[in-house]
Chains A and B, each alone.
Chain A
């Protein structure tokens, strides 16, 4: 059983929901990313989605675009991101880490070399925003052979046929994008999410994480009620942007954001 599967299974046994924060690696500076990852865990993260910065993040809104620009200004490369995970693993063997990003940096590194290095660094899952399963024939087997979970997106526009096909290609969890739009927009409609996630649950046994538009304890609880976990991104990245200068202050601010979400999710526990 993969580390992701194990964590999600334990949570399910406890009737609890997964809290999955996203930050962009190298933002505000490559030196503080590992420290911030530990902060996220202390504040209640079950799984970390670590963004690999890309020059052209087409699926992201301005907040994460700027995070990518800050990280790239410091030359944050995919190899460095893998190094960060390796350092994180030295003191945390428990928390799964999912790399989230765009395909081209992986392609430039070479898929096989990347998959090997990901395993060696202690990465657990790979989520590539611009890689639908149709194009993943060559890549996904490299991940599954190494027991890396391949996590794919589902969207409000995904047809039933595709939900089934995508779920078959996925392991660990599937990531449901809560609305049509880019990251950081505030368009979430909890009722729509609830009915679509219930529908997805009928078609796959995989846990369903929901991301896009979760910004506080209230939205986290509302979405947590109808899913297996919530992914929280732009609101954290925005907090990083506003506290770049002072790491101690930044860690406090991240904790102040995440902790209430953790409590709100746990208050749902049956």
Chain B
């Protein structure tokens, strides 16, 4: 059952405590509370500050290369035989993914707050690269925490970060993936809270992060709105994005939440299949709990211990999800679905061969589902897939799966 959302309702969210309905909030140890409250206060002020917004917009235009194109995938549409498939080309951003929209915004915040040391967690390494990039540009000290397993499977991005001058900390604790990287980033932050700004890479974490990351990423959806009106003369019928923590998806969805005729699809990592338990799909198969500073859907065991996850894509390999998505699921505004590793790899190959666009493995999940969905839709309908990032970083993984050494 879906609730009709109005602009007025949406502008009141999250509430003053950072809640989206039953989700979100600020569940951290006391040491961090003051910093989070200061960050919230400063951000809400800067959000209204024309100078800050102008700086942000200028960086997005001149440094990131925005607006990113909305591209009509003509051949893919013809082959699929359903709705018109359009691609939002976040892969063409500087550094190759949507992540940089957010790091530009948070680095500006850090500068306004006078913080000289930056930390970040990363899974696929795209957020780490985007953070290292803005730090290089602004001359800030940069530390990136990355699960030891992800350091292995995303070695190209590790090297990129090092070239950019960042220090990459391989995290050996727990499952040695994204969630453990986030744990260690939090531990660093609590230790160096006076001089350090934590640039969180997705719409998770304690309030105000889910709000401010959403705001910075919403440029994606705003551009789609005006590009769709320009090129097609109407809003899209469906939007599709992959969901790890959920930042590219919320950035795409948020400007459309009040448009009830626009269907929203978030695609989680189905791994080896939901039934196998080997996946990273908390919205599809998890339940509400508290992790990393917010209440959201989680993958956990019956005792509340966080479960190990599996996905072929490091950037989706996370047991939680942003609280706003948890809320959108519960009120029925967005649909959350999953595709398996296998389907995502097929999606990767299809987009590469049919359109000459090599998507990130994370993005390939959205491609796989988007094509499936388009096939069931009418020819006069319009579907947009968020191409959240490019696939260069995944070439080693694909080659390995194909048994090829490069």
**Residue from A56, A79, A109, A157 with most neighbouring chain B CB atoms (10 Å):** A56
Contact string, A156-187, partner B, CB cutoff 8 A, digits 1/0? 11110010001000000000010011100100
Q: Which residues of B contact A157 (CB under 8 A)?
A: 30-35, 193
Q: Please tell me if the beta carbons of B291 and A59 are within 8 angstroms of each other in the complex.
A: no
> Counting CB contacts under 8 A, is B298 at the interface?
yes
Q: Are B29 and A58 touching (Cβ within 8 A)?
A: yes
What is the number of residues of chain A that contact chain B, defined by CB distance less than 8 Å? Answer: 44
- Nearest Cβ distance between residue A215 and chain B, in whole angstroms? 17
A108 touches B300 (CB 8 A): yes
A44 at the interface (CB under 8 A from B): no
The minimal Cβ–Cβ distance linking B334 to chain A, given in whole angstroms, is 24
Q: Are B183 and A56 in contact (CB under 8 A)?
A: yes
Report if A107-B290 is in contact (Cβ < 8 Å); known contacts: A131-B27, A159-B34.
yes
Out of B25, B193, B289, B292, name the residue touching A58 (CB < 8 Å). Answer: B292
- B305 interfacial contact with A, CB 8 Å: yes
Q: Is the CB of A58 within 8 A of B187?
A: yes
Interface size on B, residues (CB 8 A): 37
Contact in complex: A104, B298 (CB < 8 Å): yes
Q: Any chain B CB within 8 A of the CB of A141?
A: no
Encoded as 1 (CB less than 8 Å from any B CB) or 0, chain A from 120 to 151 comes to 00000000011110110000000000000000
> From residue 173 to 214 of chain B, which have CB atoms closer than 8 A to chain A?
173-174, 179-180, 183, 186-187, 190-194
Which B residues lie within 8 Å of A132 (CB)? 26-28, 30, 33
Q: Choose from B29, B192, B306 the contact partner of A129 (Cβ within 8 Å).
A: B29
* A54-B305, A78-B304, A135-B25 known; A185+B191 contact, CB < 8 A: yes
Taking CB atoms and an 8 Å cut-off, the chain B residues in 26-57 that contact chain A are: 26-35
Find chain A residues with CB under 8 A from B380 CB. Answer: none
Known: A61-B187, A104-B289, A157-B193. A55 touches B306 (CB 8 A): yes
Output the residue of B173, B190, B300 with the most chain A CB within 10 A: B190
User: Is B17 in contact with chain A by the CB < 8 A criterion?
Assistant: yes
On whether the beta carbons of A130 and B293 are closer than 8 Å, the reply is yes
A108 and B302 in contact, given A56-B183, A58-B29, A58-B186 (Cβ under 8 angstroms): yes
CA distance A162 to B33 in the complex (A): 10
Describe B's contact surface by its main secondary structure.
mixed
Give the distance in Å from the alpha carbon of A245 to the alpha carbon of B329 in the complex. Answer: 49
Q: Which residues of A contact B11 (CB under 8 A)?
A: none
CB pair A177–B34 under 8 Å, yes or no, is: no
Nearest CB in chain A: distance from B173 CB, A? 6
Q: Is A153 an interface residue (CB 8 A)?
A: yes
Interface CB pairs A-B, < 8 A, 12:
A54-B304, A56-B174, A58-B187, A65-B173, A107-B288, A109-B303, A132-B27, A135-B26, A135-B27, A155-B29, A157-B30, A177-B29
Give me the interface of B with A, judged by CB distance under 8 Å: 17, 25-35, 173-174, 179-180, 183, 186-187, 190-194, 288-293, 298, 300, 302-306
Given contacts A104-B300, A177-B29, 13 further A-B contacts (CB under 8 A): A55-B174, A56-B292, A58-B187, A60-B187, A79-B303, A108-B289, A109-B303, A109-B304, A130-B27, A135-B17, A155-B30, A155-B33, A180-B193
